[in-house]
Amino acid sequence: MHSQENSSPALAHAAENVRSYRLQQGLSQDELAKRSGLSRRMINGLEAGSANISLSNLDAIGLALGVRFVDLVRPPQADNRDIRSLMWRGTGADSQAVLLGAAPAANMVELWHWSLHAGDRYDAQPDMQGFSEMIMVTEGALHIVFEHETKQLAAGEFAIFSSAQRYAYVNPGAAATRFIRNVIS
Task: Output the CA–CA distances (angstroms, integers) from residue 125 to 57, 58, 173, in the order listed.
Answer: 9, 11, 24
Could you tell me the domains of the chain?
9-73 (1.10.260.40), 85-184 (2.60.120.10)
Prediction pTM value: 0.69
Residue 4 has pLDDT above 60, yes or no: no
- pLDDT of 33 reads 97
pLDDT (average), residues 28-34: 97
Q: Quickly state the pLDDT bin for 2 (edges 50, 70, 90).
A: very low
pLDDT (average), residues 115-133: 93
6 closest CA partner among 45, 48, 52: 52
Q: Write phi, then psi, for 58 (nearest 5 degrees).
A: -65, -40
- The sheet carrying 132-139 orders its strands as 85-89, 96-103, 109-116, 177-184, 132-139, 158-162
Amino acid at 143: H
What's the DSSP call for residue 157?
Answer: -
Q: Give the whole-angstrom CA distance, residue 78 versus residue 148.
A: 40
pLDDT (average), residues 52-62: 90
In tens, the pLDDT along 77-106 reads 777 878 888 888 889 988 998 888 887 778
Q: Write phi, then psi, for 76 (nearest 5 degrees).
A: -50, -35
Q: Which stretches of the chain are assigned E, i.e. beta strand?
A: 85-89, 96-103, 109-116, 121-124, 132-139, 141-145, 150-154, 158-162, 167-170, 177-184
**Angle made by CA atoms 151, 155, 156, in degrees to the nearest 5:** 95
Residue 7 has pLDDT above 60, yes or no: no
